[in-house]
Structure 1
Amino acid sequence: MLVTRLRLAKLYRPYREQAGSVLVVGHIPVQEVAAFTSVRVLFLAQNATAPAGVTAERTVHVSPVVLQKLSGLKSVGGLQAVAEVEAPGSHDFLAESERGALKRLLALDCVQDPGNLGTLLRTASGLGWDGAFLLPGCCDPCNEKALRASRGAAFKLPLASGDWQELDKIAEHHRMAYLGAEPHDNPGSATTSPTRSEGMKGVCLVLGNESQGLSEEAHERCQPLSIPMAGRMESLNVSHAGAILMFALSDAGLDVVRDARQFVV
């Protein structure tokens, strides 16, 4: 019964959210995630040892057949660990101690590729952003591929999901200006009605769907922001573009710009 429950927790997002558990597959992913959340059950291959630094409420050595059922993989060659961990909770960005406490928030608008989503969360965490907000249509941040790409950031970075109305309340509460990433010289940018940024204390960077770009709701709210492109390329992958923009908008990026000015003739 436990194997069946954990397999369902991996395969079906609604059940996973109800159970409050996430299944993490692989020695390194388990080690990365365990640094930020509790491990409820650690399943190890026979004769395998727990990943360094990982402690679990319960540890069980199982056969390759059981590991395969838990992981959902066709082959478990080299697989040594699978863990049931406590799912990351939804962060309440309105509960910050004071208005304007949130300075940089990443909002993902129907980003569906788990590799892109995980990479963006990892980048936001690495660059010191305050959190991420997942709008409708985004893939599950606890998807196995997303977890691998995020390197545990889905558990470390404050994370919430909801609709535009909820995000609007957060942006208003913390006086954040909306910036929406758009391809350079996108004709649609001229038709937007960007949110005024005067008096704002923070920024909410909105990144859109891999193929469709920003949604209509995003266009209604965001001031367009683009990366100048040299050559014949029209745009970058959303995770690459997001990394550049997050760095440019971070304290580290602003410091680099200030330092670089002394080299400009």
Structure 2
Amino acid sequence: MREITSPANPLIIDLVKIRDDPKRRRRLNQILIEGVKLIEDIRALMPLLKVFSTKEKWLEAFAAEESYLISDAVLKKITATDNPEGVVALVPMPSIPLPEKITRLLVLDRLQDPGNVGVLMRSAFALSWDAVFFLSGTADPFNDKAVRAAKGATFRLPMVKGDFSKLQEIMSEHHLQLLAADMHGEPLAQGNVPDSHIALALGNEGAGLSKEMVDSALKVSIPMREGAESLNVASSGAILMYELSGRA
């Protein structure tokens, strides 16, 4: 066990870079995770490379290749949360290949809020969707906010990034029908949405779906009472995935 008291320590500076820079995360193939429950969950899936904590009991509980007892100032430097639990771990970036058979694919089209990305991944995993496709311009799923919001789904759900042509290749290979969430689309309650294999596309929080996505998809919507405001993308995505899980 080693001790670090200064936020200016080179190792701490490097951790902050990993937290904030997606290119550095991918180059090193490492990400930061925070919190007792998440670390306890993930250590059953992969090794903990380094653990940093203000309390010796967590360093003893989460045996890692390297353990560091840190000061409160160092913890504040590493974490991006207002009230950190006091333990952070550096782990390998998960890489889960796409399954041989895909029947339900979630497609995220340029979503900007990492929190929304994480919540949708959590919902997709909980509802047994097979994988998530991230179109170029979507927030990084390994962003620390996305990882916290995903509640472990980041380490269990197959993910792939690419452009629209890559998405078309996957849909063609697995015979998927592209559906696009649109408030003016076909209401799911009418039962006219196909029950064949599906890829559900959710668009940017402000701009919505890209034109090529809208032009290629069957637009679907959630029936809502008159006068109700549209739901945010995380809420509408969860509802649509739930409804389509019973149809696909």
CA contact (8 A) 1:179 1:206 kept: yes
Aligned match of 2:65:
57
**One-letter identity of the residue aligned with 1:156:** R
**One-letter identity of the residue aligned with 2:35:** G
TM-score for both structures, normalised by structure 2: 0.85
- Residues of 2 paired with 1:92 and 1:147: CA distance? 19
- Residues of 2 paired with 1:201 and 1:229: CA distance? 25
Give how far 1:78 is off. Answer: 5.5
CA contact (8 A) 2:33 2:148 kept: no
Give how far 1:133 is off. Answer: 0.6
- Residues of 2 paired with 1:168 and 1:62: CA distance? 48
Aligned match of 1:20:
29
Give how far 1:61 is off. Answer: 1.6
Give how far 1:68 is off. Answer: 2.4
TM-score for both structures, normalised by structure 1: 0.80
**One-letter identity of the residue aligned with 1:163:** D
User: Which whole-Å deviations, capped at 9, do the CAs of 1:18-64 have from their partners, x for residues lacking one?
Assistant: 01110122323323443433311011214332496x44222222222
**One-letter identity of the residue aligned with 1:68:** K
Partner secondary structure for residue 65 of structure 2? strand
CA contact (8 A) 1:36 1:152 kept: no
C-alpha RMSD over aligned residues: 2.4
Aligned match of 1:231:
226
For residue 215 of structure 1, the aligned residue among 210, 219, 225 is 210
Aligned match of 1:31:
40
Partner secondary structure for residue 102 of structure 1? coil
Give how far 1:201 is off. Answer: 4.7
Q: Aligned pair in 2 of structure 1 residues 50, 248: CA closer, same or farther (>3 Å)?
A: farther
For residue 81 of structure 1, the aligned residue among 87, 90, 93 is 87
Aligned match of 1:167:
167
CA contact (8 A) 1:30 1:51 kept: no
Q: Name stretches of at least 5 consecutive residues in structure 2 with no aligned partner.
A: 1-9, 187-192
Aligned match of 2:135:
135
Give how far 1:224 is off. Answer: 0.5
The share of aligned pairs that are identical, in percent, is: 36
Question: What count of residue pairs does the alignment treat as equivalent?
Answer: 233
Partner secondary structure for residue 209 of structure 2? coil
- Residues of 1 paired with 2:60 and 2:158: CA distance? 25
- Residues of 2 paired with 1:207 and 1:78: CA distance? 31
Partner secondary structure for residue 177 of structure 2? strand
Give how far 1:152 is off. Answer: 1.1
For residue 68 of structure 1, the aligned residue among 70, 76, 98 is 76
Give how far 1:140 is off. Answer: 1.3
Give how far 1:145 is off. Answer: 1.6
Q: Aligned pair in 2 of structure 1 residues 92, 221: CA closer, same or farther (>3 Å)?
A: farther
Q: Aligned pair in 2 of structure 1 residues 80, 51: CA closer, same or farther (>3 Å)?
A: farther
Q: Aligned pair in 2 of structure 1 residues 72, 145: CA closer, same or farther (>3 Å)?
A: closer
Q: Aligned pair in 2 of structure 1 residues 137, 51: CA closer, same or farther (>3 Å)?
A: farther
